[in-house]
Structure formats: C-alpha cells, structure tokens
Amino acid sequence: MSIKLELLYLCQRDVLQLGGDDMSSAIQDMEKVFILKEKKDVRVPDKVSMGFGDSISEEKTKGRINAMPGYLGGEYDMAGIKWIGSNPGNLSRGLPRASAITILNDPDTKFPIAIMDGTVISVARTGAVSGVATKYLSKKDSKTLLLIGAGLQSRTQLEAVLIACPGLENIYIYDISLEMAQRYALEMGEKLGRKIEAVKEGKPYAQKADILITVTGSAKPVIDADWLSKGCLYINIGGFECTYDTVKKADRLFVDNWEAVKHRNASAIAKMANERIIDDNDVTGNIGEVINSDKRGRINDDDIIYFNCVGMGIEDIAIATRVYRRALKEKVGQILEYWS
C-alpha cells in the first residue's frame, strides 16, 4: 500500500487574503467558541508556557514561547495547536513582540493537515474576545473608551470594540510612550475614519471611560481602584495590569475560562484566587455562560464589571479552520509533501 500525505501551508499574506483578520467574522467565531466551551464540546488542555527567566515578570524582558493545543467541536470539528513566541525586546529591533504558527490536525486520523501563520489570527482573536465582552457586558449607551497600551494587540481591540459598540464618541489612547500613543492615534484614526486622541495621562480619562482596556506589556499594575467609575466595563488583556483593589471594586467578575485563568496565574484575579483572597464563588462566571443565558451579565448601568481573558488555543483554531476551509475552496496556499 502506498501512502501519500500532504499539508497545506498558508503564509501571512494568504491568511490575510482569506479573511484571517476579518473582525466581524472573528467576533462571530469567538461567540461560537464560548458557547461550545460551555457545552463542553471542546478540549482545552492547560496552556504550556515556556518562560525564559524564573518568573512571569522576568518573561516580560526575556520572552516566552507558549503552546496552546485544543479541539473544537460543532461546525468546526477541528484539532490543532498555536505555538506562539513572544519577546518584548523585539520592538527595539523593529520586529513585532509576538510570532505564531498554527497547526491544524484532522480530528479523526490526528494527522496534521495545515500549517499557517498564526500571528494575524492571534491578534484578531484577542480583539474579537474583547468585542464579545463589550457586546455582552458594556452599558448600552457607552460613549467613552480609553485604551491603555498602544501596541499591536491594542489595534484589534479598538476595531472589535467599535464593531460591538459603534456609538462610541470619545476614543482615547494612553501609552507609557507618548510617541507610541500618537502614532497609534494617527494610524488607527486613518484606518477606521475616527477621531482618536493620544493622551498624556491615563487616570483622568479612565475615570470618564465607559469601557477601559489595558493591553500593555507592563509587569506591574498600571491601574488602581480609583481609576474606575460607576458603570465601567474594565477589560484586562495583558497580565498583572491592575491592583487587587481594582478587582475588589468591581461588582461583577467575568473571565473567558476560569480554570485556565487560575492555571496561568498571570492576572490580578488569578493571583487573588491562588493566594486564597477570593474563591471560585466570587467569580460571576465565564463569558460563555452570559452568551448562553445561564448567567446575567450586566444587571444595571452602575455595575462596574471586570473581564479578564487568558486566551485559549481553540479561539485560534476556530479562525484557522475558517481560513483553511476557504483556502481549499479558493485553492490558495502551497501544498507541501508530508509523507510519500
């Protein structure tokens, strides 16, 4: 018997051509991922984080490579893994912080069927998660957004939040580097056709924000409890970016996957749980439980809501599967010989 096996390889240009960065589709994918997760039609092994250094704060200078495998059921029915390297030091070399490869595996034979750039997909899916959080947890008449951190992830955060909440009128960007914030305001303002103001301090704008997002590479908290006003949805995307008091001030606490958040132990809410300052009952729920109506999200306009996501490989697999299936239809990518 002769066996001939092939793989589809998609470079970053292919992934972009196939809609890997399409934010509206990514938001729809993430909603489906969270629903499948709550239905337990997924496999989400713990993220393996290979940090270079002895602590999560050392990772912020020395970098890490994470392995994020998963299986996603439903219409996706696909297994795979994202293998993502990250080094904040890359920025000074003119390189992005993160670079990812995503591999898809046939869920039956378990053979690899595709290898693709996962960087574009990774940035899109993290933005899309905040889009979903905004859709379900923000005040309906939210008008003011402050983003803290003007890196790559912050760009897709803004795209997604604007899709989920198109009525936003005031958009502010703060970064420890004013130059980064100004560049962001110019570039994203042009791209999205919106006025974006780069601000020199975060706190006064955070206090006005209906939606506040921290998406920095900071190793220590950048916001404190008195930065949050009534009604704010605070989305914590980077790691340890807020004080414990900030979490305590929130009326309702949501995450993408509570077990995974605790396991990664990178954010304030995870550290508080691992130090027994809060327990599982203090966490209101996973965002999927709000989408499928098992839990209420926002109860009233004064609620301060905290949302933290650790990120799951199944989010990347969802978008990668959509891209892969379209590539087959449109005959995009390179067929690579695997076994013959």
Ligand X SMILES: NC(=O)c1ccc[n+]([C@@H]2O[C@H](COP(=O)([O-])OP(=O)(O)OC[C@H]3O[C@@H](n4cnc5c(N)ncnc54)[C@H](O)[C@@H]3O)[C@@H](O)[C@H]2O)c1
- Amino acid present at 274: N
Alpha-carbon radius of gyration of the chain: 20
Answer yes or no whether residue 215 interacts with ligand X by CB under 6 A. Answer: yes
Residue given tokens 């709550």 in the structure block: 38
Q: Which single residue brings its beta carbon nearest to ligand X?
A: 151
* Spatial distance between the Cα atoms of 185 and 222, rounded to a whole number of angstroms: 20
* Spatial distance between the Cα atoms of 119 and 181, rounded to a whole number of angstroms: 22
- Amino acid present at 182: Q
Identify which range of 103-111, 280-288, 296-304, 306-314 contacts ligand X by CB under 6 A.
306-314
Look up residue 180 and give its two tokens. 């980064």
Answer yes or no whether residue 97 interacts with ligand X by CB under 6 A. Answer: yes
Upper half-sphere CA count for residue 34 (Cβ side, 13 Å): 30
Task: State which H helix or E strand residue 186 sits in.
Answer: helix 178-192
Identify which range of 3-11, 43-51, 215-223, 293-301 contacts ligand X by CB under 6 A.
215-223
Residue 103 or 215 with smaller CB distance to ligand X: 215
Answer yes or no whether residue 65 interacts with ligand X by CB under 6 A. Answer: no
Q: Count CB neighbours of 309 within 10 A.
A: 24
Answer yes or no whether residue 66 interacts with ligand X by CB under 6 A. Answer: no
Instruction: List the catalytic residue out of 37, 82, 139, 271.
Output: 82
Answer yes or no whether residue 317 interacts with ligand X by CB under 6 A. Answer: no
Residue 88 or 112 with smaller CB distance to ligand X: 88
* Spatial distance between the Cα atoms of 185 and 120, rounded to a whole number of angstroms: 21
Does 32 qualify as catalytic in the annotation?
A: no
Interacting positions 179-198 with ligand X (CB under 6 A): 180
Answer yes or no whether residue 221 interacts with ligand X by CB under 6 A. Answer: no
Helix (H, G, I), strand (E, B) or coil at 177: coil
Which of 20, 70, 149, 288 lies at the binding interface for ligand X (CB under 6 A)? 149
DSSP string, 241-257: -B-HHHHHH-SEEEES-
Task: State which H helix or E strand residue 68 sits in.
Answer: strand 64-72
Q: For the CB of residue 53, give the shortest distance to ligand X in the complex, in Å.
A: 14
Which of 8, 27, 133, 237 lies at the binding interface for ligand X (CB under 6 A)? 237
Helix (H, G, I), strand (E, B) or coil at 111: coil
Q: For the CB of residue 109, give the shortest distance to ligand X in the complex, in Å.
A: 30
Which of 69, 80, 127, 239 lies at the binding interface for ligand X (CB under 6 A)? 239
Which of 80, 118, 151, 333 lies at the binding interface for ligand X (CB under 6 A)? 151
Report which of 102, 88, 93 is spatially closest to residue 53, judged by C-alpha positions: 88
> So which residues are the catalytic ones?
82
Residues that bind ligand X (CB under 6 A): 88, 91, 97-98, 126, 148-154, 175-177, 180, 215-218, 222, 237-239, 309-311
